[in-house]
Structure 1
Amino acid sequence: MQHASITEFLQYYSKVKGRTKKVVSLITEDNITYSLNEKQFSIGDLARHIPLVELHFYLPIIKGHASGYSGCDASFAPDTASILALYEQAELEMEDILKDKPAEFLKQRIKMPKGDISLYKWLRLILEHEIHHRGQIYQLLSASGVSVPNIFGLSSEDLISISS
């Protein structure tokens, strides 16, 4: 993704969020606490972590505030409906921050402990973080016995069959 306009970024962001919410909606009371071991995030932890990091780390940094991230355990959102509400909140806050900003806003620099980066790169990191953890949710749901959808409608077998 090259330097997009704010409108293009928000459209892509919305599509990423939609794909993540689709897989998060497969979380049930029976699998929300599933994890490979007690030292790793559960399915629910991962699903909560994505919007909570966005709401309390990424978005405050954009606003020039300090991080307020304090974890992602079940006390933040105990069930799938409340987890999905966190995604909606993150989407609304992102749109609210960016909607009226000029294109130059994307070129602003964000101070990081090891240097600074452009706001545009920061926005890309938000999406990369989400996509990374979405993959983990897919894997854990599958390991817990849930039949997960193909992200773009094609399985590996489908790709083999249409390849020459």
Structure 2
Amino acid sequence: MYSTITEFIEEWKTEGDATQKLFDALTDSSLGQQVSPNDRTLGGVAWHIVETIPYSFFGISEIASDSGTIPTTAKEIAEMFRNVRYAVLNTVSKLWSDASLKEDRKLFGMNMPTEVSLQLIIKHLIHHRGQMTVLMRQAGLQVSGVYGPSREEWASTGMEAPKVQ
């Protein structure tokens, strides 16, 4: 949980930057990649991240389309995520205080302290970002490192990538 708004803002920036790199690496042709016909496509997972940011929780106007239709271009999805990230950042940094963390707010149909809700929002983002990286690899896209270098980035560190076992 967060004890200050600054802690959330810093983590939102860090996790948002890492996620934005993945969004920006998407291609139009990669959006249809999926594990099976019963699972979301890469575009569907990316769009799910965008459309499930709880706009009303943050007190911002909905930015993503509510048509239920996934945009057909990677650029549009990446730009929508960028817009959402900054809208949340601007709202929280300007309108929320440390005291806001103790307020109960409704998220996913449940009332809970904001400090708990913010952790769930970050975890949801990270969970689906992980799904994106697998689908991106299957689609032949280069994946950027998140908590360390990706396989492709190891060379730039002057080190050999870990061996697959």
Of 102, 105, 122, 1:107 maps to 102
How many residues in Structure 1 have an aligned counterpart in Structure 2?
152
Matched with 1:133 is 128
After superposition, give the CA deviation of every residue in 1:49-97 in whole Å (9 maximum; x if it has no partner): 112110xxx13134399xx9957542xx321211111112212221232
> Is there any run of 5+ residues in structure 1 with no aligned partner, and where?
none
TM-aligned CA deviation for residue 148 of structure 1: 2.0
Alpha-carbon distance change, 42 to 112 in structure 1, aligned in 2, over 3 angstroms: closer
Contact conserved, 2:20 with 2:78, CA < 8 A, in 1? yes
Matched with 1:78 is 72
Matched with 1:93 is 87
Alignment pair present for 1:11 and 2:10? yes
Contact conserved, 1:62 with 1:119, CA < 8 A, in 2? no
TM-score, with length taken from structure 1: 0.78
After superposition, give the CA deviation of every residue in 1:84-138 in whole Å (9 maximum; x if it has no partner): 1111221222123212322101110024677521111111111100100000000
Q: Structure 1: which 4+ aligned runs deviate by more than 4 Å?
A: 68-72, 112-115, 154-160
Aligned mates of 2:145, 2:107 — CA distance in 1: 36
Which range is displaced more, 148-157 or 113-122? 148-157
Aligned mates of 1:95, 1:64 — CA distance in 2: 11
> Is there any run of 5+ residues in structure 2 with no aligned partner, and where?
155-159
Contact conserved, 1:108 with 1:119, CA < 8 A, in 2? yes
TM-score, with length taken from structure 2: 0.77
Contact conserved, 2:25 with 2:142, CA < 8 A, in 1? no
Where 2:29 maps in the other structure, the secondary structure is coil
Q: CA RMSD in A?
A: 2.9
TM-aligned CA deviation for residue 27 of structure 1: 1.3
Contact conserved, 2:105 with 2:113, CA < 8 A, in 1? yes
Where 2:43 maps in the other structure, the secondary structure is helix
Aligned mates of 2:11, 2:124 — CA distance in 1: 14
